[in-house]
Amino acid sequence: LNSIQGKSALVLGGSRGIGAAVARRLAAGGASVALTYVQGAAAAQAVVDDIEKAGGRAMAIQADSADEKAIEAAVTQTREAFGALDILVNNAGVLAIAPIEEFTTEDLDRTLAVNVRAAVIASRAAARIMGQGGRIIHIGSTNAERMPFAGGAVYAMSKSALQGLTQGLARDLGPKGITVNVVQPGPVDTDMNPASGPMAQGLIPMLAAGRYGHPEEVASFVAYLAGPEAGYITGASLMIDGGFAA
Ligand code: NDP
């Protein structure tokens, strides 16, 4: 059985959207779950309350992924609270869209800090304490493979960077029995990319599935990767995109 019962997990950016669904799904599988947020204290607490009401174990940690010390503290806090760190999900991400002529350096720096640098820092901190069977799962994007509209160059670059990071980390951590993968969703109905939002009209015709994904559909895939049955999957960029890039 693909059991994550009793495992300890940290989800960066777990207060809303895909990260919240991942936190809930890992907890439903029996993992203790720490989740970070930056602004959404009430939303993060609501996820924790839901998990606890269902009999699970969870905690929320305010930690801006742009802040190295905050990420490292979240990793330490997770291990101290739950006795280990078995599963790291690097989900926190930001999306800035603008024509390159107008793309600000501030947005460039923020995108790289949250989408890329944080994944390296969190993985480094996790690698120092994770044992055999450990799992590092990045949330990338189908835009690492296909960027069919203008204005998303920096976002796509940040998600392509996770592919290289994943391949290299798989080599570093394979000998320790830790797998590293990047899950690449297509359009998923969240605050970042609402299925009823202005981007959706252009995106839906590009989807083989003809619809947006639900956060729970990504979460179940992450839960599979987090379990022991996925032990031979590593260094992989895994599309879950409704055929967006097909
Ligand atoms: P949302 O914007 O809906 O949620 C983002 C989550 O990340 C929130 O919990 C937010 O916390 C947290 N977060 C944002 N910035 C930071 C930060 N600096 N430090 C810590 N936490 C932070 O995003 P989605 O759920 O849509 O996206 C999640 C991931 O999936 C991202 O990496 C995104 O790029 C990727 N993705 C999304 C797709 C989509 O269509 N939705 C498609 C492909 C990939 P807070 O509530 O405190 O702001």
Domains by residue range for the chain, with CATH: 8-239 (3.40.50.720)
Q: Are the CB atoms for 188 and 195 separated by under 8 Å? A: no
Q: Best mutation site among 72, 192, 211, 221 for ligand 1, i.e. most ligand atoms within 8 A of its Cβ?
A: 192
Catalytic residue at 224?
no
Q: What percent of the chain has pLDDT over 90?
A: 98
Q: Which of 13, 52, 11 is nearest to 192 (CA)?
A: 13
For 12-53, what is each residue's pLDDT tens digit?
Answer: 999 999 999 999 999 999 999 999 999 999 999 999 999 999
| Positive/negative CA dihedral, 220, 225, 228, 233 | positive
Q: Which of 132, 227, 233 is nearest to 182 (CA)?
A: 233
Neighbours of 149 (CB within 10 A): 12
For residue 187, name the pLDDT band (cuts at 50, 70, 90).
very high
ipTM for the assembly: 0.99
Question: Where are any strands of DSSP class E within the chain?
Answer: 8-12, 32-37, 58-62, 87-90, 135-139, 179-185, 236-240
Take residue 208 and report the two structure tokens written for it. Answer: 């083989």
Mean pLDDT along residues 138-154: 98
For residue 82, how far is its CA from the centre of ligand 1 (angstroms)? 24
For residue 175, how far is its CA from the centre of ligand 1 (angstroms)? 31
For residue 246, how far is its CA from the centre of ligand 1 (angstroms)? 24
Mean pLDDT along residues 128-136: 98
Q: At what angle do helices 118-127 and 68-82 cross, to 10 degrees?
A: 40
Q: Is 190 exposed, middle or buried (0-12, 13-18, 19+ CB in 10 A)?
A: buried
The pLDDT value given to residue 26:
98
What DSSP string describes 24-59? HHHHHTT-EEEEEESS-HHHHHHHHHHHHHTT--EE
For residue 2, name the pLDDT band (cuts at 50, 70, 90).
confident
For the chain, the average pLDDT equals: 98
For 194-227, what is each residue's pLDDT tens digit?
Answer: 999 999 999 999 999 999 999 999 999 999 999 9
Ligand 1, CB within 6 Å, residue ranges: 12-19, 36-40, 43, 64-66, 91-95, 114, 139, 141, 185, 187-188, 190-193
The pLDDT value given to residue 1:
83
Neighbours of 230 (CB within 10 A): 19
For 93-110, what is each residue's pLDDT tens digit?
Answer: 999 999 999 999 999 999
Mean pLDDT along residues 52-80: 98
SS (H, E, C) 139-169: ECCHHHCCCCCCCCHHHHHHHHHHHHHHHHH
For residue 77, name the pLDDT band (cuts at 50, 70, 90).
very high
Take residue 37 and report the two structure tokens written for it. Answer: 């947020």
Mean pLDDT along residues 107-114: 98
The pLDDT value given to residue 73:
98
Q: Ligand 1, closest atom to CA 113?
A: 18
Q: Ligand 1, closest atom to CA 187?
A: 40
Mean pLDDT along residues 109-114: 98
